[in-house]
Amino acid sequence: MTAADSAALHAADGSTGPDATARAASPHTPHADEVITSWTVAREAGVSQSTVSRALRADPRVREQTRQRVEDAARRLGYVPNSLASSLASRSGRTVGVVVSDLTNPFFPSLLSPIHDELQLMGYRVVLFAERTDIPSGQDALNRLLDRSIDGVLVTTATLRSPLADTLRMRGLPLVLLNRYIDGLDVDRVISDNRGGAVAGARHLLELGHRRIGVVRGPSNTSTSRDRMAGLQDALHAEDIALDAALVREGSYSHQSGYQHTRDLLRLADPPTAILCGNDIVAFGAIDAARSLDVRVPQDVSILGFDDVPMASWEVFRLTTVSQPFEEMATAAARMLAERIDQHVEIGPGREQIFPATLVKRSTVGPPRS
Amino acid sequence: MTAADSAALHAADGSTGPDATARAASPHTPHADEVITSWTVAREAGVSQSTVSRALRADPRVREQTRQRVEDAARRLGYVPNSLASSLASRSGRTVGVVVSDLTNPFFPSLLSPIHDELQLMGYRVVLFAERTDIPSGQDALNRLLDRSIDGVLVTTATLRSPLADTLRMRGLPLVLLNRYIDGLDVDRVISDNRGGAVAGARHLLELGHRRIGVVRGPSNTSTSRDRMAGLQDALHAEDIALDAALVREGSYSHQSGYQHTRDLLRLADPPTAILCGNDIVAFGAIDAARSLDVRVPQDVSILGFDDVPMASWEVFRLTTVSQPFEEMATAAARMLAERIDQHVEIGPGREQIFPATLVKRSTVGPPRS
DNA sequence: CTGAAAGCGCTTACAG
DNA sequence: CTGAAAGCGCTTACAG
């Protein structure tokens, strides 16, 4: 999204505000459809078009008095600079593309909010590239990223071996990977310690006495899912316990996947006593599945999530999960990208920032029934 | 968002695809940072720049053979037209702005998905303007809507008496109001029958015998909240029942609001036997509140939502609610806007499309304890 | 401190 | 069917 905030727009209800310009404009714009450009403003202010351009961008070289005159004229006319022309001429629209997945998964809005806020603070607008499975237009989406309307890209849904990031990099587009990374691709990235977080989560289950641990993991082509699995294995190995392959299911990061796979697991002759879920939305599906089978959580089965989205703390869920510091991660990624775009940073090796992932104990994990 | 879908991007993992162009480009682009324009392609294909422009937009006047030659050259060079230049020259970027509220409320993603899909199908990219309460930049957001990067706007969060829509209209920007409308503003709008839906919901409660009905309504400056209240009053009047003002709370459309106000209502000396919530997210907060007080739903209190977001049917909620046909509404609004933009429709009076809102009975409403 | 002019990379009459 | 040229509305050296 060129996510902007219209909060203040609405907040301005009934006051002078956005509409003041429009009102003031009418006496000077007899024809409503007459386009107002910097030339119009120049004429009105009695200066050259170049001076208008400079004044409005607060170029220190223009005299304060002149700037004032230009700004007044611009306000009277309700002038808004044409961003297309300005971006074309300056070769930058201060616009960043953010690639996210299905917004229906609360994880992405949670990550997006801080990204948007930070980027906006730095003067960038953000255009959202939302993954949709039902409309096939990959080349289209890629082209929109490469059509010069975007100055840099934040990818939150990188898939292992996906050519997207590599293509963008070859095209010279500043790029930062957030949340998921790609093996052997030397670009900036901001991730959390998925492996460590999974170790903490798994250990918690083991300490409570769980031995038959089920898993509804995310897609194996994502670094997050792979690293979380690795963390689970680490914790298991430390206790000399083997993961029962029959209890491991792979699915998408969705409620549907959590629901279906958990139902399958719970209907096994010898069901797991705890289920480690790929992320929170999967865990919500798992909780739903348990409920649909009258299996109590955590008395009959423990459920562990990953992410700690806001919903996780709702009373109906009180999900025990591994928390990722969304805000800090988003902020760090936004800053990294801005640095690359603003050329403060040499084209150099990819930088990496790893944030801790910590266990948050709530009410969906307990000791196994014995 | 210029929401695009990267689904296929990722789907293209490892195949030839997006990166094929990049690969093929290298022999022809010794300097990676050399910008490739339509002139580069013209030289490569041995035609004029105008012909390149025409060929690539499939102008029927260019000979098939020429078109082929140009397309081949473009592919070899990995050429992607500069959308800024193209939009500036053609005065249209086929881009629509969609103003939504906090994406954290699942209602908006649910509405956004079909909007995005439909618009994309029609060749528009969509830029999301997401309302944020924590960053004050109303004029900023308005300017971004008016800076010529947007050809039309879909507003889903119009607030009664908000100047936004009026300003946009005065600026001549094609505009469609979706979900909420503004009194006395003659613009296109697509809404659901909020009043009728509320009547159906309230009647359901009355038929079950509820007489002390509590309300956690949405903001009074939204048409949705006001119309739903009117519907409730209609149903009450028909039965000659008066609404107890002490049981009516106004809040935002948020979990937090539903939670807090419901806790207050439930701790009253004589609490309501049913609570009509402003929308689903408020209802989820209400369910959480009941749970936090060990009040059973629906045995001790009935809870009714509005919207029927996907989460409403999750097992943990099984929320009885009033369903709005999101997809159809979104599609209708997208089409209406596209018509305005494409000038198929005269500047004329605002058109209105109203969709039915229907009661969906699930498990959060039952007879009152007697 | 300000202006005239070139240029950003396209689209689109206007000729031919 | 194709090309030369003007123009979209800005930014930014280059002069003064």
pLDDT digits (tens, 9 = 90+) for A219-232: 999 999 999 999 99
Cβ atoms of A192 and A355 closer than 8 Å: yes
Query: Using 50, 70 and 90 to split pLDDT, how confident is the model at A128?
Result: confident
pLDDT bracket for residue B342 (50, 70, 90): confident
Predicted confidence at residue B241, as pLDDT, reads 93
Give pLDDT, residue A132: 58
Average pLDDT in the B195-214 region? Answer: 97
Task: Report the nearest residue to nucleotide C6, CA vs C1'.
Answer: A89
Contacts of A59 (CB under 8 A, 6+ apart): none
Beta-ladder partners of A96: A126, A152
Testing the interface with A: which of B9, B57, B297 to mutate, by most A Cβ within 10 A?
B9
Place of tokens 């993991």: A217
Our CA-based measurement puts residue A161 at a distance from the nearest CA of chain B, in whole angstroms, of 6
Judge whether residue B239 has pLDDT over 80: yes
Q: What is the pLDDT of residue A25?
A: 35
Of residues A20 and A134, more confidence is placed in A134
| pLDDT at res. B131 | 65
Nearest CA in chain B to A162: B13
Average pLDDT over chain B, rounded to whole?
87
Which pLDDT score is estimated for B22? 34
Is residue A76 pLDDT above 60, yes or no? yes
Q: Which amino acid is at B154?
A: L
The CA-atom distances, in angstroms, between A61 and each of A46, A47, A225, A337 are 18, 14, 54, 30
pLDDT band per the 50, 70, 90 thresholds, residue B324? very high
Q: Could you give the CA distance from residue A101 to residue A130 in angstroms, rounded to a whole number? A: 5
Q: If you search the block for the tokens 């959580």, which residue do you land on?
A: A297
Instruction: Report whether the peptide linkage leading into residue B349 is cis, meaning its omega lies within 30 degrees of zero.
Output: no
Nearest to A307 by CA among A317, A321, A293: A321
The integer distance in angstroms from the CA atom of B79 to the C1' atom of D5 is 24
Average pLDDT over residues A196-218: 97
- Pairing assessment for the beta strands A95-100 and A152-155 based on DSSP bridges: parallel
What is the average per-residue pLDDT within A270-282?
Answer: 97
Interface size A-B, in CB pairs within 8 Å, comes to 312
Angstrom distance, A48 CA to D16 C1': 15
Q: Which two tokens stand for residue B195?
A: 């009043």
Residues A161-179 have a mean pLDDT of 89
Instruction: Kindly tell me if the per-residue pLDDT of A324 is higher than 90.
Output: yes
How many residues make up chain B in this entry?
Answer: 370
% of chain A exceeding 70 in pLDDT: 88
Look at B7 and A136 and tell me if their CB atoms are within 8 Å. yes
pLDDT band at A179 (very low <50, low <70, confident <90, very high): very high
Cα gap A149→A152, rounded to integer Å: 9
Q: Greater confidence, A105 or A245?
A: A245
Delimit the domains of chain B by residue range: 17-81, 91-192+326-357, 194-323
At residue B266's C-alpha, the angle toward residues B262 and B269, to 5°, is 145
Higher pLDDT, residue B83 or B348: B83
B17-81 and B91-192+326-357 share one fold: no
Dist. CA A234–CA A111, nearest whole Å: 28
Contact B291, B258 (CB under 8 A): no
Read off the pLDDT band of B332 (50, 70, 90).
very high
pLDDT mean over B55-74: 94
pLDDT at A217 over 50: yes
Out of A158-162, A257-261, A293-297, B209-213, pick the least confident. A158-162
Across all residues in chain A, what is the average pLDDT? 87
Sheet of B302-304: strands edge to edge?
B248-250, B213-217, B274-277, B302-304
Q: What is the pLDDT of residues B95-125, one digit of tens each?
A: 999 988 878 888 888 888 899 889 988 889 8
- SS3 at position B3: strand
Q: Taking residues B345-362, what's their average pLDDT?
A: 88
Using alpha carbons, select from B235, B224, B204 the residue that is nearest to residue B320: B204
Cα angle, residue A243 at apex, residues A362 and A217 outer, rounded to 5°:
55
- For the residues of A265-285, what is the DSSP string, one character each? HHTSSS--SEEEESSHHHHHH
Query: Exposed, middle or buried: residue A284 (CB in 10 Å: 0-12, 13-18, 19+)?
Result: buried
Bases along strand C below 7 A from a protein CB: 1-5, 7-13
Sign, Cα dihedral of B202, B205, B210, B214: negative
Q: How far is CA B166 from CA A18, A223, A266, B2, B181, in A?
A: 10, 48, 56, 24, 12
Tell me the pLDDT band of B196, cut-offs 50, 70 and 90.
very high
Q: At B202, is the secondary structure helix, strand, or coil?
A: helix
Asked if A93's CB is within 8 angstroms of B88's CB, the reply is: no
CA distances from B87 to A147, B81, B162 (A): 11, 10, 30
pLDDT bracket for residue B128 (50, 70, 90):
confident
**Which of B16-30, B70-84, B271-285 is predicted with the least confidence, judged by mean pLDDT?**
B16-30
Strands B358-360 and B321-323: antiparallel
Q: Which CATH number fits domain B17-81: 1.10.260.40, 3.40.50.1390, 3.30.70.260, 3.40.50.1000?
A: 1.10.260.40
Residue A130 has pLDDT above 90, yes or no: no
Which residues, at least 6 apart from B23, have a Cβ–Cβ distance to it below 8 Å? none
Task: Count Cα neighbours of A45 within 13 Å in the Cβ-side half-sphere.
Answer: 29
B99 CB neighbours in chain A (<8 A) are 6
Q: Give the pLDDT band (50/70/90) at residue B137.
A: low
Task: Please give the CATH architecture assigned to the domain spanning B194-323.
Answer: 3-Layer(aba) Sandwich (3.40)
Confidence of residue A138 (pLDDT cuts 50, 70, 90): low
Give domain A16-81's CATH superfamily.
Answer: lambda repressor-like DNA-binding domains (1.10.260.40)
Say yes or no to pLDDT of B339 above 50: yes
- Higher per-residue confidence, A38 vs B25: A38
Residue B63 predicted with pLDDT over 80 = yes
The token pair at B307 is 């919207």
Provide, as residue numbers in chain A, all residues whose Cβ is less than 8 Å from the Cβ of B19. Answer: 163, 166-167, 170
The average pLDDT across B223-230 equals: 97
pLDDT, position B347: 65
What pLDDT is attached to residue A29?
Answer: 40
Chain A residue with the nearest C-alpha to that of B17? A139
pLDDT band at B162 (very low <50, low <70, confident <90, very high): confident
Which fold is adopted by the domain A91-192+326-357? Rossmann fold (3.40.50)
- Mean pLDDT over B145-161 rounds to 91
